[in-house]
Amino acid sequence: MLNRQKSLTRFRDEEFDLAVIGAGINGAAVARDAAMRGLSVALIDRGDFACATSSRSSKLIHGGFRYLPQGQFKLVYGALRERERLRHLTAPHLVHPIQFLFPVYRGRGFNRLTMAMGLTLYDLFAGMPFKEWHSTLNAAEVRETEPALSRDGLTGGAMYFDAWADDARVTFENVLDADLHGAAVANYASVENFSMTDGQIASASLRDLLGGVSFELRATKFLNATGPWVDQIRRMDDPLSKPCVRLTKGVHLVFARTVLPVRESIVLGDERGRIVFVMPHDRYVLVGTTDTDYPGDPASVRTEADDIEYLLAVLAESLPGIKLKNADVASSFAGLRALVRGEKGAAAPSAVPREEVILESSSGLITVAGGKFTTHREIAQKLVDLVMKRL
Ligand SMILES: Cc1cc2nc3c(=O)[nH]c(=O)nc-3n(C[C@H](O)[C@H](O)[C@H](O)COP(=O)(O)OP(=O)(O)OC[C@H]3O[C@@H](n4cnc5c(N)ncnc54)[C@H](O)[C@@H]3O)c2cc1C
């Protein structure tokens, strides 16, 4: 079982095959995969496990229907296959089905035909049994299913299945499994610098943030899985390295179900057709997300007034009978997407591809950036294949 003190002693005494920096979903999944393949692994996080992006997602284990019109077929196909694997094979106790109502409005986003075509592709990619396939609805059926929805320009809609999970718990179970397979694991331990031998990273200076002491962590390979902080770690390796990620902020609001009494999980759109999810879970309803460039310090990301204003406006327009005020927001959380940085004059945040990028520096630091929570197992497999090759 997890024993932080024992892990810290191992960090001091052993030389590991692989040291993974960051215990969000990507780092945790890599540590698990590598430990299962018999490598000696160290996994560390500066905060608690899953304290950053991996506890602030929309909690969907999904293909991402909205990526289909962007032509990101490979991403959607891979993510749907991973969704089904998690649902049925690896984590059926953690990954649950969620059924969405997706209303269609005249002159906005999908029409009934493109929606039906897209969802057929979505269900086909997932390889779902026919009984779980989407169904299309006419306007009267949509109104009956969710009376709170705006009727202005409503032409119909669809019901389709996706999946959701408690993101922090999935991450933590990966950490636990890495530990069970022999990895040395510690939270509240921060990598502060690297030391080189013959141009290769030989050790990292590690600070135990609870004990206040620093020491050297030795490993043959180092993996940078620090999400919004990947560029900070890359600069420790090479001060001249160019940023590889673009950070965008995503905010979710939480309402009591009594003030937002929707019956279904719904896919709403803003006036430009950008998707916002409304997802009732038990006594609360999760609403999100925003997607705006974030130039600040990743540690300071928080919900701002304009994030709340944007999400309340989408709700007011789409669910006109439900009047929500700022004071109805029970809670909120903000996370940062580490999107792959494109050329100058890049696309709007929502249009940036969500596929991961794997980089390797001349001193041997492997960095993973971008990616979806849903595809963590596949990302980890690719990374550990690379580590095995290098070892
Ligand atoms: C708003 C939002 C909604 C999303 N919704 C979904 C969704 O519904 N479905 C989906 O599939 N994906 C979703 N994603 C994407 C998904 O959440 C991310 O791809 C995933 O969580 C990234 O995990 P990570 O491990 O790379 O980063 P993180 O979870 O951010 O982990 C990085 C870790 O590195 C640690 N760290 C940083 N610096 C150091 C250091 N010096 N030393 C030690 N540790 C350090 C941090 O403490 C942190 O825990 C969403 C993302 C956002 C932002």
CA distance 358 to 366: 7
Per-residue pLDDT, 350: 67
Residues β-bridged to residue 239:
none
CB 16 within 8 A of CB 40: yes
Identify the CATH number of the domain in which residue 26 sits: 3.50.50.60
Note whether 156 and 252 are same-domain residues.
yes
Q: Which of 63, 281, 294 is nearest to 163 (CA)?
A: 63
| Whether the predicted pLDDT of 302 surpasses 80 | yes
Residue 15, in any domain of the structure: yes
| 213 part of a folded domain | yes
For position 275, which CATH number holds?
3.30.9.10
| Domain presence at residue 319 | yes
Instruction: Please tell me whether residues 340 and 255 are part of one structural domain.
Output: yes
What is the C-alpha separation between 157 and 105, in angstroms, rounded? 8
Domain identity same for 102 and 238: no
Pocket of ligand 1 (CB under 6 A): 21-27, 44-47, 51-54, 56-60, 62, 190-191, 225-229, 250, 289, 335-337, 371-374
- Same domain as 217, residue 134: no
For the ranges 37-51, 62-76, 93-107, 223-237, the lowest mean pLDDT is seen at 62-76
The number of the ligand 1 atom at minimal distance from the alpha carbon of 28 is: 25
Does 12 map to a domain? yes
Nearest by Cα to 389 from 200, 194, 220: 220
Rg, Å, the chain Cα set:
22
Which amino acid belongs to residue 108? R
**Cα first-last separation, the chain:** 28
Closest residue to atom 41 of ligand 1, CA basis:
191
Task: Tell whether 202 is covered by a domain.
Answer: yes
What's the CA-to-centroid distance between 24 and ligand 1, angstroms? 5
DSSP E strand stretches across the chain? 15-21, 41-44, 60-61, 96-105, 135-138, 154-164, 184-186, 189-197, 200-208, 214-224, 245-256, 265-269, 275-281, 284-288, 292-293, 329-340, 357-360, 366-369
Specify the number of domains making up the chain: 2
Q: Please write the tens of the pLDDT for every residue from 10-48.
A: 999 999 999 999 999 999 999 999 999 999 999 999 999
Q: Is the pLDDT assigned to residue 84 strictly greater than 70? A: yes
Structure tokens at 66: 């909205």
One domain, residues 182 and 133: no
pLDDT of amino acid 112: 87
Regarding whether 224 and 174 lie in a shared domain, the answer is yes
Say if residue 121 is in the same domain as residue 140.
yes
Mutate to test the pocket of ligand 1, among 188, 226, 289, 311 (most ligand atoms within 8 A of CB): 226
Q: What is the pLDDT of residues 161-196, one digit of tens each?
A: 999 999 999 999 999 999 999 999 999 999 999 999
Same domain (yes/no): 186, 135 = no
Do 231 and 265 share a domain, yes or no? no
Atom number, ligand 1, closest to the C-alpha of residue 291: 1
296 and 179 in a common domain: no
* Average pLDDT taken over every residue of the chain: 94
Position 343 confidence tier, pLDDT thresholds 50, 70, 90: low
Same domain, 307 and 258: yes
Check pLDDT > 90 for residue 347. no
Structure tokens at 135: 């169904």
The pair of structure tokens assigned to 282 is 């038990």
Q: Are residues 140 and 214 in the same domain?
A: no
Look at residue 80 and tell me if it is in a domain.
Answer: no
The reply to whether 302 falls in a domain is yes
The reply to whether 75 falls in a domain is: no
Could you list the residue range(s) of the whole structural domain that residue 370 is in?
A: 4-54+168-243+353-390
